[in-house]
Amino acid sequence: MGYNDIFSRGVSKIDENGILIIQSAPSRYIVWTLVFILGLPLTRYLWKKGLGGNFAPGFFFALFTIPLIALPGLLHEEILCDGSSVEVATGFWFDPNVYEVRLPVDGVVTGFNTLRTSEGNRLVLNYSTGDSVAIAMPELMAGNIDTLVSYLKTDSR
């Protein structure tokens, strides 16, 4: 497990209707909580000792964004796939972004690749019909590409 896996790992399950559900893994909450808990006393110490200039108090107060913004956002983050579409819920808890991408009805996923564009990372699914579909790829999807692609390769429709 790499450094990025800790921050983007998810847990997946297939519900009774055959829908793949990917949500943030508990390890993501634990890691971000530890960053907050360990970061507060460290930055406070540096601030009191005058080390780090203006960065120490800045980081001290910036750490409060973790329990106020990051952790509730992880609760909201989710990917749903039923074989005919992929629905991605991401964003901040106070400004959620939910979008759905329709997938081709014909063909089976034969492979995938990832692209970095000016708008962000994309997952490109290649189909046996020659079609391809690009999906905006949030951190949760990046950490769970193999799960999503293997689900789609089984022709779950």
- Residue 11: its pLDDT value, please? 86
The Cα–Cα gap between 119 and 35 comes to: 28
- How big is the chain by its Cα radius of gyration, in Å? 19
Q: Are 112 and 123 in contact (CB under 8 A)?
A: yes
Indicate the Cα dihedral angle 133, 139, 145, 149, nearest 10°: -40
* Confidence bin at 9 (pLDDT 50/70/90): confident
Q: What is the pTM of this model?
A: 0.76
Question: What pLDDT, in 10s, does the model give residues 38-77?
Answer: 999 999 999 999 898 889 899 999 998 888 887 887 778 8
- Any idea where the domains of the chain sit in the sequence? 3-153
